[in-house]
Amino acid sequence: MTSPISFTFRATTTGQARLGTLSTPHGVVDTPQFMPVGTQATVKSLTPGDLRTAGAQMILANTYHLSLRPGHERIARLGGLHRFMGWDGPILTDSGGFQVFSLGHLRQVDEEGVTFTSHLDGSPQRLTPERAIEIQEALGSDVAMAFDQLVDPALPGPAVREAMERTHRWAARCLAARTRDDQALFGIIQGGVDERLRRHSAAAIAALPFDGLAIGGLSVGESKADMTRTLDVVADALADDVRVRYLMGVGSPLDFFDAVERGVDLFDCVLPTRVARNGQLWTSEGKLNLRNARFLDEAGPIDPACGCEACRNHSRAYVAHLFRAEELLAYRLASLHNLTYTLTLMRQIRSALADGSFASVREGVTAHYGDRRDGVR
């Protein structure tokens, strides 16, 4: 099957970092790139227009949640996910593996798939590699993900190995199940933080005819040192692979630099919008917690260097008031700001890779996000 996407890149002088262009059926994505997470066909509190204004080029939606509500068959009948949510750009759908992992005692894994209890109504549900592909094909995303078994990296080695090997078998089943020639399929590398397992998984998944490669099973409780070391192993294993690379579930400012330096092209994470809804704003001078009382008297913008709607039109005092009053506008303005900051940072990283100033940009961000004990003012 001919790939419906194409990825071209040029090497840079920064480690294994690369500047690329990912072409999809719904548009072109400049890489490295961050994908805002629209779990239930919406990035919480934001419209597709807001996302475009913030600089989003590609977004992520969730197979597990959309299959339960409103149902992938209904979305297909209504014209597919792009039309359903009013977003005409590229969409990546995850396979549900992380959500099944997070269900804990509500799930049971066997060789064929996973049986679990719906978090909505307690009804029994079944997800297999074939079912995950069927759902994603009905949704009509530009990129679908293979169904994998994610486990806690702190589990004993044999348990991590078993899940990794099952992920490889499920990957082959996902490839065999695909029928759409206009939807790319990415495989997922697992193996916890064990270097030998990660190297083996990278080789096994890279040997399969996937359109792109994802690094899963990180940012789930392991230390920063373990994550960085694991990325080093995977980067070395994939050094000669020209396919697009996607690091799943990572989205903090400093983590971008570590991962980009190791050849990662795509990111997604709920972190920027989740912390925004709790009043934590990311700025060019570090993090602010607008729930702190001192901001109620600050007349300046959230970030003078930011051009988002919140910073152009409203003061810190006003947004801090909205949070204390529990007004819905607080969540929209804060989320829009954090995504604007994150996507602007990705543009700065791309520019820095192009002109050789990556180290300098990294030092500037580290100065504001890497030194304080809690990172929040």
Q: Could you report the per-residue pLDDT of 132-145, keeping only the tens digit for each?
A: 999 999 999 999 99
CA angle 250-104-212, nearest 5°?
35
pTM over 0.95: yes
pLDDT in tens, 313-339: 999 999 999 999 999 999 999 999 999
Query: What is the distance between the alpha carbons of residues 65 and 301, in angstroms, rounded to a whole number?
Result: 36
268 is annotated as an active-site residue: yes
Homologous superfamily of the 7-269 domain (CATH)? Queuine tRNA-ribosyltransferase-like (3.20.20.105)
Q: What confidence score (pLDDT) does residue 373 get? A: 35
Query: What is the distance between the alpha carbons of residues 369 and 374, in angstroms, rounded to a whole number?
Result: 9
Average pLDDT estimate for 212-235? 97
Percentage above 70 pLDDT, the chain: 98
pLDDT in tens, 18-67: 999 999 999 999 999 999 999 999 999 999 999 999 999 999 999 999 99
- The structural domains of the chain, with segments of one domain joined by +, span 7-269, 276-365
Q: What confidence score (pLDDT) does residue 103 get? A: 76
Q: What confidence score (pLDDT) does residue 371 get? A: 54
pLDDT tier, 100 (very low <50, low <70, confident <90, very high otherwise): confident
Average pLDDT estimate for 278-299? 98
Q: What confidence score (pLDDT) does residue 149 get? A: 95
The one catalytic residue in 50, 94, 148, 211 is: 94
The one catalytic residue in 142, 255, 258, 268 is: 268
